[in-house]
Structure 1
Amino acid sequence: MTALLAAGYGAKRAAPTTALVGVLPSFAGFAGHALRVKLDPLLMLGATAAVIAGSQLGPRIMHRRLSSRAVRLSFALLLLGVAARMALEAWSG
């Protein structure tokens, strides 16, 4: 997202573009993992329902209720949280 912001895209346009780019390697990883393990159908159904709900609610909330500043701040907080978790996992072994 940072590269898109630097290129002049607004946060409301950069966020969904980043999300789309993230889906492609995620799908490839899931496909490789799914071939090796037994998947829980109930878990898959719940995850699918959550994805469908999020894909419908997310754009509406992003378009109508969040400013570009709020989107940038949310993304920054998410990245900091992920970095903190990765650091804790690395230090705890």
Structure 2
Amino acid sequence: MDKKNRTSCRDEMLQVVKQLVKTKGKNEFSTQEVLDEMRSAGTSYKESTIRTHLTSRCCVGAKQHHQTVYGDYVRIGHGLYALVHLSDAM
């Protein structure tokens, strides 16, 4: 894939999560669901990269180990997350 046209892990994940939440009809998803859906969508990102983005880099309230962080998801339970801006998905 041409690097110019490659989407970021964050962008791919947001698309997958929004569709997942819409399909489920519930703003709740697990780490495993995100991994499975991203694999099904043909992601080129490693599982460790996806997990890092979901649980740390893009999660509200996570310890900040990264220079750039985003507030896309919130942890609602062990291995469970929700979209912060649900209106974007519904």
Q: What TM-score, normalized by structure 1, do the two folds share?
A: 0.29
Q: What TM-score, normalized by structure 2, do the two folds share?
A: 0.30
Larger radius of gyration: 1
Structure number with higher helix proportion: 1
